[in-house]
Amino acid sequence: MSEMQLNEKNVLYRPLFGPQGWWLLGLSALVVLVLIPIANLVLPQDSVFYVSAYWVTLIGKILCYAIVAMAMDLIWGYCGILSLGHGLFFALGGYGMGMYLMRQIGHEGQYRADLPDFMVFLDWKAFPWQWWNTDHFGWALLLVVAVPGIVAFVFGYFAFRSRIKGVYFSIITQALTFAAMLLFFRNETGFGGNNGFTDFKRILGFSITTPETRISLFVITALILILTLLIGRFVVTSKFGRVLAAIRDAEQRVMFCGYNTLHYKLFIWTLSAVICGVAGALYVTQVGIINPGEMSPANSIEIAIWVAVGGRGTLVGAIVGAGVVNGAKSFFTQAFPEYWLYVLGLLFISVTLFMPQGIVGLINQWRKPNQES
Amino acid sequence: MHSKLIFYIVVLLSGLLKPLPVLAFDRAAFESVVLAEGDERFKALDTLVAEADNQTPVLLKALLEGELQRAGKQIIWVHEGRNIDPLTQAPLSSELPDKEDVVVNNRLRGALESALAALKLVSTDHKTRLAAAKELVVSAEEGMKPIVKKALAKETDATIKALLESILATMELKSTEVPLRLQAVQVLGQSSNSNAKTALLAALEVESDEGVKQAIKTSLKQVETRLVWGQRLGLVFAGLSLGSILLLAALGLAITYGLMGVINMAHGELIMIGSYSTFVVQNLFRHIPAFFDWYLLFAIPVSFIVSALVGMLLERGVIRWLYGRPLETLLATWGISLVLMQTVRTFFGAQNVQVENPSFMSGGIVVMSNVVLPWNRIMIVIFAIAVLLAVGWTLTRTRLGLFVRAVTQNRAMASCVGVPTAKVDTLAFGLGSGIAGLAGCALSQIGNVGPDLGQSFIVDSFMVVVLGGVGQLAGTVYAALGLGFANKLLESWSGAVIAKIVVLVFIIMFIQKRPQGLFALKGRSVES
């Protein structure tokens, strides 16, 4: 499985981990963590630099997607495993947090009942077992991390053990998320069926719609994004990460060298799923809705294109890609909704044909001659 | 025999002499159906039906359709804009004092409808009689006993006779005489109709006689066994039908993915293009209504060619540059599928389009009263077999097939001995895409045709190929049929969604055991 064309020397280190990279990271962190909150909270509404709630939510959403994209890059870019089921882990994290947020609504639903509206609607008398203990924030956090982690671990163990790789693995992950979507569409599953969860009121007692809560969630998301980047950097630059890259480029040789590739793949796969789950939880608090549509195969494939556009095997590329593609998506779906699928489709085609290393690859190409001269 | 012959002649003649009033018509009964109140109307209706002649259905229909009016005791039939006397058909003055509509309430409406159905039982047309008998199985009423008996006496066709017998038996279940009831129960025991079961169950509730009770139980068991067999037969056919649809959808994939190793996520969209081609051909044929039924014959090659051309274009333009990079191919072809979907939306709109069945494909074969095999599904099973044979023949008996297999087994060697590998790739991909087009043509006959049509098949058809094993047509066939049956069987137990989930989980587990599918390739090509 050596379809990755990323065999340049030291490609792991170049884009992010030089001194310029650190500067860039610090600068972006400054913008996201300090300037945007100030622009939203402190500046008056008629100022040129005022950032409205709409923009905060949009950027917050894109930051969540960037986390997902990095999770994808960890397994695809560094380990050569293309997952078409990452939407499932994202949604599982989202549902874990969503359950807590639903419990926080309390008696303020349409029916003023003890149970969430959709359960009243279905004429249920008590919470089903999945909802046990979900009124505790800590338990919700545990669910957000543990459920995607366990699902990924079990699935990954069986898949990697029987050495399913490449396209086979991709198709099976797609089937997995498809099956889960069908399951969550059913009312009997206990997660609100088609409509999923929405109309949240509070988180940890704070109203979820105030600017202060929104900015806090935004800052938390940005911090977790940076944390993910650092964790990812630590993993891929360690010896462990070198083995992963070796597995990507020539799995059989790595096995003949005496490594048990199952452990490596399983660890990075599970880590990636957990990161996705966290991103999903952050997404729900900011966007305010989660439904089974998040598990549709199309959504999961889109994650792959974020990474491909940004540049695989670079981590920052994932962030760039998620930002560019989703920025374009917001623009097109508002300005020219009928053209967005053309753009997305052509993006898939042109990136794979002409830009196998993505935007980051292009920047590298452009910088290389400069360095040599 | 003679009496029957005479009866037919009389019916025929009276059909010819329709405008003439027939003297035997019970005028008093008719008047009380129209003019009286409450139960009297229904009693009169029963009399009218029992003594029915040729004029009865015409007048009852007029009453049902609100064409009758009254002015005091005088009944007026507003027929084709003129006021006439319904019985003599003599013209009446158009200026009648206190004219009012005859009120037909819902109960009378129902009674009239089944009376009309009962009257059709004595029609000379075989089809009309059959339809009427079928209708009455559901809605027979006590008052129709005489006419059903009358019809039964004259009936020659075995199917209709059996139906009539069970109708009569259903009525006689309520008889007060034990032997009559017993006989009725036994007759119903021979039926394979769910209505017979309902009637027997109802009778069991109220039955007092021990002997009859026992007979009812035996008959019930017989009917139930027959019904269960009917259901099983229906289930097997549903499985076969779904299997053949999956087979059609997956056959093209078996060539492009199975043989060529190209993972084509736009396969579903090629199916959709086939469906839309059929739609376009259908619209062209609307201009020549006389040949409308034949549009399908033209749609088959057209959908093949259109999809094949689109496929070849994709291979030349995009896929060719990605050989040996399956993950990239997957993403690029997904992009293609998005573009194709949006293109179709731009040209044909986002709504589903209407593809009509040709007249010879509507309706179906009635195997048992609860099992109907629709013609369009039967045709698709046959079509799938035909396509399978054609593909098998192309791959094993033609030069192109030989080249495709050669390139699959050893590209470099095939190229060395002069096989134009690039051309073969394009043609093979075109063949696979064309078959997808054929699948689309077939699917347009049984389901909705919309821009999203392909999306719903992509997971299923990949599952078929993955389960069947790469590089094998036989594997694809078994996997498609197996998945079709499994899906339908599970559906009957647990509902459609759970069935789908169970099947997907099963495939995921199966792949654990046999990662290469049902029929694994052996030898060198395994790890390439």
Residues A22-72 have pLDDT tens digits of 888 888 888 888 888 888 888 888 888 888 888 999 999 999 999 999 999
Q: Using only the alpha carbons of chain B, give its radius of gyration.
A: 32
Phi, psi of B364 (to 5 degrees): -170, 180
Q: How far apart are CA A349 and CA B483, in angstroms?
A: 32
Q: What is the pLDDT of residue B116?
A: 78
* One-letter-per-residue 3-state SS of A166-214: HHHHHHHHHHHHHHHHHHHHCHHHCCCHHHCEECCCEECCEECCCHHHH
Answer whether B459 sits within 8 Å of A164, measured CB to CB. Answer: no
| Residue percentage of chain A with pLDDT more than 90 | 50
Nearest CB partner across the interface for A346, out of B339, B345, B512: B339
pLDDT greater than 90 at residue A304:
yes
pLDDT, chain A, mean: 88
Residues B19-29 have a mean pLDDT of 59
Nearest CB partner across the interface for B336, out of A161, A166, A345: A345
Q: How far apart are CA B528 and CA B526, in angstroms?
A: 6
Residue A163 three-state SS? coil
Distance from CA of A86 to the nearest CA of B (A): 15
Q: What is the pLDDT of residue B207?
A: 75
The model's pLDDT over B229-242, given as tens digits with 9 standing for 90+, comes to 888 888 888 888 88
User: How many CA atoms, within 13 angstroms, populate the side-chain half-sphere of residue A156?
Assistant: 27
Nearest CB partner across the interface for B318, out of A155, A305, A349: A349
Answer whether A342 sits within 8 Å of B339, measured CB to CB. Answer: yes
Where do the domains of chain B lie? Answer: 2-120, 230-527
Q: Which residues in chain A are contacts of B456 at CB distance < 8 A?
A: none
Q: What is the pLDDT of residue B14?
A: 54
Interface check A185 vs B, CB under 8 A: yes
The model's pLDDT over B393-411, given as tens digits with 9 standing for 90+, comes to 998 899 999 998 888 888 8
Q: Which residues in chain B are contacts of A351 at CB distance < 8 A?
A: 331
The model's pLDDT over B424-451, given as tens digits with 9 standing for 90+, comes to 999 999 999 999 999 999 999 888 899 9
pLDDT band of residue B526 (cuts 50, 70, 90) is very low
* One-letter-per-residue 3-state SS of B328-343: HHHHHHHHHHHHHHHH
Q: Of the given ranges (A22-26, A115-119, B264-268, B338-342), which has the lowest mean pLDDT?
A: A22-26
DSSP B140-196: --GGGHHHHHHHHHH---HHHHHHHHHHHHHHHTT-SSHHHHHHHHHHHHT---HHH
- Tokens 């046999």 appear where? B514
Answer whether B342 sits within 8 Å of A342, measured CB to CB. Answer: yes
How far is residue A219 from each of residues A43, A58, A288, B357, measured CA to CA in Å? 17, 13, 17, 59
B332: closest CA among B314, B346, B345? B314
Contact A130, A98 (CB under 8 A): no
Q: What is the pLDDT of residue B19?
A: 47
* Overall pTM surpassing 0.90 (yes/no): no
Please, what is the end-to-end C-alpha distance for chain A in angstroms? 36
Record the tokens describing residue A59, joined without a space: 């950027």
How far is residue B235 from each of residues A56, A79, B243, B375, B378, measured CA to CA in Å? 55, 46, 12, 16, 14
Q: What is the pLDDT of residue B25?
A: 65
Q: Of the given ranges (A124-138, A349-363, B94-108, B435-449), which has the lowest mean pLDDT?
A: B94-108
Residue B520 vs residue B438, higher pLDDT: B438
pLDDT greater than 60 at residue A5:
no
Record the tokens describing residue B65, joined without a space: 């359709």
Q: What is the pLDDT of residue B491?
A: 83
Residue B82 three-state SS? strand
The model's pLDDT over B157-215, given as tens digits with 9 standing for 90+, comes to 777 777 777 777 777 777 777 787 887 888 777 776 777 777 778 777 777 778 888 88
**Cβ neighbours for B406, distance < 8 A, ≥ 6 positions apart:** B413, B414, B419
Contact B454, B271 (CB under 8 A): yes
Answer whether B508 sits within 8 Å of A176, measured CB to CB. Answer: yes
Q: Which residues in chain A are contacts of B332 at CB distance < 8 A?
A: 348-349, 352-353
Contact A94, A283 (CB under 8 A): yes
CA of B462: which chain A residue's CA is closest?
Answer: A171
pLDDT greater than 70 at residue B462:
yes
Q: How far apart are CA A207 and CA A191, in angstroms?
A: 23
Residue B252 vs residue B16, higher pLDDT: B252
Residue A4 three-state SS? coil
pLDDT greater than 60 at residue B21:
no
Record the tokens describing residue B175, joined without a space: 């008889």
Answer whether A3 sits within 8 Å of B327, measured CB to CB. Answer: yes
Q: Which residues in chain A are contacts of B326 at CB distance < 8 A?
A: 3, 166-167
Residues B227-254 have a mean pLDDT of 86
Sign of CA dihedral A11, A16, A19, A21: positive
pLDDT, chain B, mean: 81
Record the tokens describing residue A265, joined without a space: 């793949």
Q: How far apart are CA B67 and CA B61, in angstroms?
A: 9
Please, what is the end-to-end C-alpha distance for chain B in angstroms? 80
Residue A288 three-state SS? coil
Interface check A373 vs B, CB under 8 A: no
Positions of E strands within chain A: 197-198, 202-203, 206-207, 289-290
Answer whether A344 sits within 8 Å of B334, measured CB to CB. Answer: no
Element (H, E) at B77: strand B74-79
Interface check A182 vs B, CB under 8 A: yes
Record the tokens describing residue A195, joined without a space: 């409509």
Residues A244-259 have a mean pLDDT of 92
Q: How far apart are CA B444 and CA B450, in angstroms?
A: 10
Residues A181-196 have a mean pLDDT of 88
Residue B74 three-state SS? strand
Q: Which residues in chain B are contacts of A183 at CB distance < 8 A?
A: 497, 501
Interface check A348 vs B, CB under 8 A: yes
DSSP B87: T
Nearest CB partner across the interface for A163, out of B508, B509, B515: B515
Question: A199-208, A363-372, B70-79: which has the highest mean pLDDT?
Answer: A199-208
Q: How far apart are CA A120 and CA A112, in angstroms?
A: 10
pLDDT greater than 90 at residue A218:
yes
| Residues in B 75-94 with any Cβ partner in A closer than 8 A | none
- Tokens 């556009």 appear where? A309
CA of A346: which chain B residue's CA is closest?
Answer: B335
Residue B160 vs residue A222, higher pLDDT: A222
pLDDT greater than 60 at residue B24:
no
Q: Which residues in chain B are contacts of A248 at CB distance < 8 A?
A: none
Distance from CA of A88 to the nearest CA of B (A): 15
Residue B122 three-state SS? coil
The model's pLDDT over A67-120, given as tens digits with 9 standing for 90+, comes to 999 999 999 999 999 999 999 999 999 999 999 999 988 888 888 888 888 888
3-state DSSP helix/strand/coil % of chain B, to nearest 5: 70, 5, 25
Q: What is the pLDDT of residue B202?
A: 78
Distance from CA of A109 to the nearest CA of B (A): 29
pLDDT band of residue B143 (cuts 50, 70, 90) is low
Nearest CB partner across the interface for A348, out of B326, B335, B459: B335
Residue B324 vs residue B140, higher pLDDT: B324
Contact B140, B148 (CB under 8 A): yes
Q: Which residues in chain B are contacts of A179 at CB distance < 8 A?
A: 500-501, 504-505
Residue B398 burial by Cβ neighbours in a 10 Å radius (0-12, 13-18, 19+):
exposed
Answer whether A176 sits within 8 Å of B339, measured CB to CB. Answer: no
A100: closest CA among A221, A202, A12, A213? A202
**Cβ neighbours for A220, distance < 8 A, ≥ 6 positions apart:** A282
Helices then strands, each counted (H, E), chain A: 16, 4
**Cβ neighbours for B481, distance < 8 A, ≥ 6 positions apart:** B239, B240, B243, B244, B246, B247
Contact A193, A185 (CB under 8 A): yes
Interface check A304 vs B, CB under 8 A: yes
Contact B373, B367 (CB under 8 A): yes
Residues B101-115 have a mean pLDDT of 78
Residues B37-41 have a mean pLDDT of 78
Interface check A176 vs B, CB under 8 A: yes
Residues B499-517 have a mean pLDDT of 78
Q: At residue B481, what is the residue type?
A: L
Q: What is the pLDDT of residue B11?
A: 55
Distance from CA of B221 to the nearest CA of A (A): 35
Interface check B328 vs A, CB under 8 A: yes
- Tokens 């396509």 appear where? B387
Q: What is the pLDDT of residue B23?
A: 46
Q: How far apart are CA B422 and CA B420, in angstroms?
A: 6
**Cβ neighbours for A179, distance < 8 A, ≥ 6 positions apart:** B500, B501, B504, B505
pLDDT band of residue B10 (cuts 50, 70, 90) is low
CA A155 to chain centre: 19
Residues B500-523 have a mean pLDDT of 72
Where do the domains of chain A lie? Answer: 14-43+51-299
Q: How far apart are CA B307 and CA B289, in angstroms?
A: 27
Alpha helices in B23-105 (DSSP H): 27-35, 39-50, 55-64
Residue B233 vs residue B472, higher pLDDT: B233
pLDDT band of residue A294 (cuts 50, 70, 90) is very high
Distance from CA of B112 to the nearest CA of A (A): 42
Q: Which residues pair with B449 in a beta bridge?
A: B353
Record the tokens describing residue B263, joined without a space: 């993972």
Say if strands B100-101 and A206-207 run parallel, antiparallel, or are unpaired: unpaired
Record the tokens describing residue B110, joined without a space: 């129902």
Residue A112 burial by Cβ neighbours in a 10 Å radius (0-12, 13-18, 19+):
exposed
Answer whether B504 sits within 8 Å of A179, measured CB to CB. Answer: yes
Q: At residue A347, what is the residue type?
A: L
Interface check A81 vs B, CB under 8 A: no
Nearest CB partner across the interface for A308, out of B331, B505, B511: B331
- Residue B528, number of CB atoms within 10 A of its CB: 9
- Tokens 């046990």 appear where? A132
Record the tokens describing residue A226, joined without a space: 């940076």
Interface check B337 vs A, CB under 8 A: yes
| Residue percentage of chain B with pLDDT more than 90 | 20
Q: How far apart are CA A31 and CA B293, in angstroms?
A: 68
Distance from CA of A106 to the nearest CA of B (A): 32
pLDDT band of residue A275 (cuts 50, 70, 90) is very high
Residue B327 vs residue B51, higher pLDDT: B327
Contact B405, B427 (CB under 8 A): no
pLDDT band of residue B501 (cuts 50, 70, 90) is confident
User: How many CA atoms, within 13 angstroms, populate the side-chain half-sphere of residue A240?
Assistant: 16
Q: Which residues pair with A80 in a beta bridge?
A: none
Answer whether A301 sits within 8 Å of B331, measured CB to CB. Answer: yes
pLDDT band of residue A10 (cuts 50, 70, 90) is very low
| Residues in B 468-507 with any Cβ partner in A closer than 8 A | 497, 500-501, 504-505, 507
Q: What is the pLDDT of residue B527?
A: 45
Q: Which residues pair with B100 in a beta bridge?
A: B70
Q: What is the pLDDT of residue A302?
A: 93
Q: Which residues pair with A141 in a beta bridge?
A: none
